[in-house]
């Protein structure tokens, strides 16, 4: 399964906000302490206007004072699929490639386990 997660963390005015910052954090450089709730689009391609294939919903907590790193608890809801995939783990957002644990699922994804590979396509 391959898709693009459209995380609009600091969107421009007029753009549909998909992230709510619950706590602002204490460190401007690494966002340490920031907690956010997400309801992000999953799209077929890198453009936010690409075909919607699902949503990513969950909690992000920035957990490092030395780099941009966050603890992520995310549920992937995929269009046309019966069930969800659950992700949990640390995401060092500026690393070119990273892995996060797939810790379970529901429906057709029941008992799923493994890892997901994450890559940042662009930061704007």
The token pair that represents 67 in the structure block:
């780099």
User: What architecture does CATH give domain 4-118?
Assistant: Beta Barrel (2.40)
Domain boundaries, the chain: 4-118
Return the H-helix or E-strand segment holding 91: strand 84-92
pLDDT, tens digit, for every residue of 89-104? 999 988 999 999 999 9
Of 18, 47, 19, 20, give the one whose Cα is nearest residue 121: 47
Give CA–CA dist 35/40, Å, rounded. Answer: 15
Give yes or no for a contact between 116 and 87, defined as CB atoms under 8 angstroms apart: yes
pTM of the model: 0.88
| Residues present in the chain in total | 124
pLDDT, tens digit, for every residue of 35-70? 999 999 999 999 989 999 999 999 999 999 999 999
């Amino acid at each position: 399964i391959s898709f693009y997660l459209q995380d609009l963390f600091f969107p421009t005015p007029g753009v549909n906000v998909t992230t709510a910052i619950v706590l602002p954090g204490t460190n401007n450089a690494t966002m340490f302490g920031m907690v956010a709730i997400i309801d992000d689009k999953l799209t077929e391609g890198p453009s936010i206007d690409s075909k919607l294939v699902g949503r990513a919903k969950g909690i992000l907590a920035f957990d490092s004072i030395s780099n941009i790193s966050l603890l992520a608890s995310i549920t992937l809801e995929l269009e046309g699929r019966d069930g969800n995939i659950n992700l949990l783990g640390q995401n060092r957002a500026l690393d070119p490639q990273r892995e996060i644990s797939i810790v379970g699922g529901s429906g057709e994804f029941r008992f799923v386990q493994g890892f997901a590979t994450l890559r940042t396509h662009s930061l704007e």
